[in-house]
C-alpha cells in the first residue's frame, strides 16, 4: 500500500518543501506528494491538489500531513475530512499529534479539541491584524501598495478622461493598467 503526503502553504513566496522534509525525517517513505498554494481559509474539498490526492488514494492507504490544519480550514472541515478518510479506511497520520489514531473515540475527541484551538488561533490572528491595521490607519499611515501615479498625474488623468480620452489610451500614456486608470477616474 502506498503512502501519500500532503502539504499546504498560503502564498507563492512560501514552499511546502519543509513539510515534506519533516514528514520524511519522521521516517515516512512518501510515494506520492501533493501540495497546494492556497489560503488556509479554503476548505479541503476546494483545494485542487487535495482533491487530486483524494481521487488517487485508494482505500486502505496512508495519508501523512505535518500539521492538523492541513486537513481543513476549521474544526468542522477537519472533522468532515477525517470522517471521509476514515470511511475509506485511509490511515491519517498527523505528525503534530504523534501516534494518535484519529478514528478512535479518544482520537476524535482530541481532533475536535485541537481543530477548535487552531480555529481560535486563526480568528485571534485575524483580530490582531485588523486591530494593527486600524491603529496604523488612525496614525495616518497609508496602507496598501504605493500609488503608481503621482497626485499631479491623477489630476491630469481625471481632466483628460473628462475631456473624452479613453481608459485604454490613458493607460498606455501613463504606462499603467486599465484598472489603475479606472481607480483614478471612478474611485469606489
Rounded Cα distance between 153 and 172, Å, is 13
13-51 pLDDT, tens digit each: 899 999 999 999 999 999 999 999 998 888 888 999 999
* Higher per-residue confidence, 100 vs 58: 58
Q: Domain limits at 179?
A: 151-185
18 and 111 share a domain? Answer: yes
Residue 127, domain member (yes or no): no
Residue 128, domain member (yes or no): no
Residue 138, domain member (yes or no): no
- Given 120, 140, 170, which residue is the final one in a domain? 120
Number of domains in the chain: 2
**What pLDDT is attached to residue 59?**
94
Q: Which residues are catalytic?
A: 10
164 and 110 share a domain? Answer: no
Average pLDDT over residues 148-158: 93
CB 29 within 8 A of CB 3: yes
- Given 78, 97, 120, which residue is the final one in a domain? 120
Residue 53, domain member (yes or no): yes
15 and 100 share a domain? Answer: yes
CATH number at residue 34: 3.40.50.1390
12 and 64 share a domain? Answer: yes
6: pLDDT confidence band, cut at 50, 70 and 90?
very high
76 and 162 share a domain? Answer: no
Amino acid at each position: 500500500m502506498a503512502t501519500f503526503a500532503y502539504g499546504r502553504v498560503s502564498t507563492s513566496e512560501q514552499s511546502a518543501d519543509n513539510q515534506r522534509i519533516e514528514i520524511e525525517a519522521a521516517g515516512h517513505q512518501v510515494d506520492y506528494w501533493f501540495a497546494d498554494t492556497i489560503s488556509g481559509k479554503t476548505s479541503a474539498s476546494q483545494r485542487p491538489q487535495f482533491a487530486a490526492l483524494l481521487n488517487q488514494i485508494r482505500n486502505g492507504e496512508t495519508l501523512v500531513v505535518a500539521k492538523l490544519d492541513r486537513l481543513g480550514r476549521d474544526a468542522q472541515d477537519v472533522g468532515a475530512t477525517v470522517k471521509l478518510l476514515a470511511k475509506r479506511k485511509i490511515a491519517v497520520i498527523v505528525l503534530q499529534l504523534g501516534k494518535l489514531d484519529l478514528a478512535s473515540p479518544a482520537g476524535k475527541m482530541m481532533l475536535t479539541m485541537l481543530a477548535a484551538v487552531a480555529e481560535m488561533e486563526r480568528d485571534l490572528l485575524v483580530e490582531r491584524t485588523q486591530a494593527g491595521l486600524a491603529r496604523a490607519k488612525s496614525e495616518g499611515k497609508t496602507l496598501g501598495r504605493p500609488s503608481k501615479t503621482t497626485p499631479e498625474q491623477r489630476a491630469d488623468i481625471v481632466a483628460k478622461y473628462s475631456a473624452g480620452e479613453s481608459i485604454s489610451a490613458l493607460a498606455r500614456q501613463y504606462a499603467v493598467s486599465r484598472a489603475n486608470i479606472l481607480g483614478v477616474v471612478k474611485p469606489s
